[in-house]
Structure 1
Amino acid sequence: ETPGLTDYVVSWVTTGGGWIVRRDGQRMEIPRHPFVLPFHRPYTVHLTPHRQNSVLFSAPYLEDIATEIHAGPSQQVSFDLEATPTPEAIERWRVALNASTPVLTDETAPPLLRMNAQRPLALALLQLAPWAVVDLPEPLREPSMARTRLAVEYLHHHAAEPITPADAAKAAGLHTRTLQLHCRRELGMSPTAYLRDIRLDRTRRELAESSPQETTVGEVAKRWGFVHLGRFASAYRNRFGEGPSQTLRG
């Protein structure tokens, strides 16, 4: 049993096996491919006789590396623990691991050499499973709030799908009313408003990475579930201080 890891850990077994049971009751069979262990979440692990390998990344280090991709402030990284890595992602991880291991296990390796070995491995981890940065207030990081945190992370990981806060509550083993109360108290808004803001953020990212020759504001907005473009533009301007067309034009 563990009350929750404070490092990001990638693990894989070469012999034997077992399963992990999260605080929300979800059971996950331990796969043969590399996978990310639950972070800041209580869980129990059940193992047969086995051989297991793990790589640990300190939270500040990995979260700083992640800013190179999401271009925001350093925040907690939430991995989608149910996603299966692609064969290409697994191969990138193995190549980076094989190249980094001789350096990282050499105590005499110079600091610059170690840094240049660590960074590709961290980037390979960030390609191993889908993830999102989730800026959570301290109360939601407490073990007693693990199910609410899981529901909030569910909203981040499934924002592109036709989900509702009720789906997130069900996935976390919560009553929808409990999720609503906790979100209003700790996030200052309802789960519905929080999900809308996630989708606005994703819309902004897609607009910023596109050009007017490739797409239109309407197409991107509809992909993220915004039907009424006037209301979308108003909500977008209120959140980001500029209109979506300005973001698309760069």
Structure 2
Amino acid sequence: MSTATIARPRASRAAEEVERHEAAAPTATRHAVRLEAIGTSPDGVVEEVGGLYDGRGWAAHSTGRPFSYRYTAVGDDAVTLRRSRITGAIRGAIPHTDDYIVQWLTEGVGVPDVRHDRVPLTTGVPMLFPTDREFVFEYQDYDQRIVHLSRSLVHDVAEERYRTGPVDDLALDHLRTLDPAAVARWRGQVTLLARELRNGVGTLLWQTLTRDAAAAFLALYPPALPEIPEVVLLPRLSRLRAAVEFVHEHVHEPLTVGDIARAADLSVRSVQETFQRHLDCSPMTYLLRVRLARVRIELLRADPGTTTVQDVARRWGFAHLGRFSGTYAQAYGEYPRQTLRR
């Protein structure tokens, strides 16, 4: 669910307020979001909260005490702070979403992904939802804090701080071991956001804090993508940067030297000479390296029980498995099957 397009729950107990206001940039607007859903019916939470997440197969029931739920959200279409409390049990599937969603429990028990990861939450410890795919959660008698961050905001900050370039996927590892200092920074940033909400989301400070929150989120879950080489950031190499960013953005597509040259407004010969002079490789070799890095990321994240090296290699354009394995081993000091079995 994107916070920019929250749908009104169908039951009358839920109240939602969406207001337009001017953002810090004169040409940009954000939508303020305020949402509350309260009830005592298992069917009500499935209809109201499940509807907000485009949920599938949601079910809730009592655990011996009177069933109740309350779900609140406040913020704007870049960042919303949310809270979900249920006395009872709930389970359901959440499909792929455009938001990055960090959540943690202050009480109760929960497993965010019972189908694949099956890693239970530790009270007070954040965990990123695997929103790049559908997942099935189970929670019981819990109080949960949730922060939604828009993909556009996070990717903008990632490009600025990690030189990822304009990409669709940052390849974040939602199960990575979190750095305690990064967790403390994240908590501090959420506290600052909560305080500023008293002044509304139309302030310059709020928008500054939302970018800081995205930076704190990326400290928790750094992008696994190969960085754009630092040398291409020099102002005099703007055309090389355009070529490199084009490669990173379109790495999953069939590319030729001519495609890369046109993206940089250079001739084929000029783009070849520029890559060789500043990156010590040809444009197609650079493309190969970026694709190898994406293969490695996918192998590290994949389930060896359901994934094969051949499938991943073919997906990234490598047809000859033996030649690919040798190139991969030369680049990373291990064979791809070893990476997959980690």
TM-score scaled to structure 1, two decimals?
0.59
Q: Which deviates the most, 95-104 or 114-123?
A: 95-104
CA distance in 1 between partners of 2:210 and 2:326 (Å) = 34
Paired letter, 2:117? Q
Partner residue in 2 for 1:70: 162
Q: Describe the shift of the 1:38–1:22 C-alpha distance in structure 2 as closer, same or farther (beyond 3 A).
A: farther
Greater relative contact order, per chain length (Cα 8 Å cut-off, separation 6+): 1
Q: Which stretches in structure 2 are left out of the alignment for 5+ residues?
A: 1-92, 227-248, 254-292, 335-342
Partner residue in 2 for 1:155: 296
CA drift of 1:196 comes to: 5.9
Q: Describe the shift of the 1:172–1:56 C-alpha distance in structure 2 as closer, same or farther (beyond 3 A).
A: farther
Aligned to 1:132, what secondary structure does the other structure show? Answer: coil
Q: Which has the higher helix share?
A: 1
Identity %: 23
CA drift of 1:101 comes to: 1.6
Q: Describe the shift of the 1:62–1:196 C-alpha distance in structure 2 as closer, same or farther (beyond 3 A).
A: farther
- Equivalent in 312, 326, 329 of residue 179 of structure 1: 312
Paired letter, 1:31? T
1:189 aligns with 2:297: no
CA distance in 1 between partners of 2:207 and 2:144 (Å) = 25
Aligned to 1:102, what secondary structure does the other structure show? Answer: helix
Paired letter, 1:118? T
Which whole-Å deviations, capped at 9, do the CAs of 1:195-245 have from their partners, x for residues lacking one?
968x96xxxxxxxxxxxxxxxxxxxxxxx539xxxxxxxxxxxxxxxxxxx
Which whole-Å deviations, capped at 9, do the CAs of 1:30-64 have from their partners, x for residues lacking one?
23311211122110000111011111111111001
1:22–1:41: 8 Å Cα contact kept in structure 2?
no
Partner residue in 2 for 1:57: 149
CA distance in 2 between partners of 1:77 and 1:86 (Å) = 19
1:156–1:195: 8 Å Cα contact kept in structure 2?
no
CA distance in 1 between partners of 2:198 and 2:172 (Å) = 26
CA distance in 2 between partners of 1:101 and 1:194 (Å) = 50
Partner residue in 2 for 1:210: none
Aligned to 1:21, what secondary structure does the other structure show? Answer: coil
CA distance in 2 between partners of 1:79 and 1:169 (Å) = 13
1:83–1:130: 8 Å Cα contact kept in structure 2?
no
Aligned to 1:65, what secondary structure does the other structure show? Answer: helix
1:12–1:35: 8 Å Cα contact kept in structure 2?
yes
Partner residue in 1 for 2:213: 121
2:153–2:211: 8 Å Cα contact kept in structure 1?
no
Which whole-Å deviations, capped at 9, do the CAs of 1:45-99 have from their partners, x for residues lacking one?
0011101111111111100100122224222222112212121111111111111
Q: Which stretches in structure 1 are left out of the alignment for 5+ residues?
A: 139-151, 158-164, 201-223, 227-250
Partner residue in 2 for 1:30: 121
Q: What is the Cα-based RMSD across aligned positions, in Å?
A: 3.4
Q: Describe the shift of the 1:107–1:91 C-alpha distance in structure 2 as closer, same or farther (beyond 3 A).
A: same
CA drift of 1:107 comes to: 2.8
1:101 aligns with 2:101: no
Q: Which deviates the most, 47-56 or 123-132?
A: 123-132
1:84 aligns with 2:174: no
Q: Which has the higher strand share?
A: 2
What aligned pairs does 1:14-25 form with structure 2 within 5 A after superposition?
14-21=106-113, 25=116
Q: Describe the shift of the 1:27–1:132 C-alpha distance in structure 2 as closer, same or farther (beyond 3 A).
A: same
Partner residue in 2 for 1:213: none
CA distance in 2 between partners of 1:92 and 1:38 (Å) = 22
Aligned to 1:39, what secondary structure does the other structure show? Answer: coil
CA distance in 1 between partners of 2:102 and 2:137 (Å) = 15
TM-score scaled to structure 2, two decimals?
0.44
1:7 aligns with 2:99: yes
Which whole-Å deviations, capped at 9, do the CAs of 1:141-170 have from their partners, x for residues lacking one?
xxxxxxxxxxx978228xxxxxxx5x7655
Aligned to 1:155, what secondary structure does the other structure show? Answer: helix
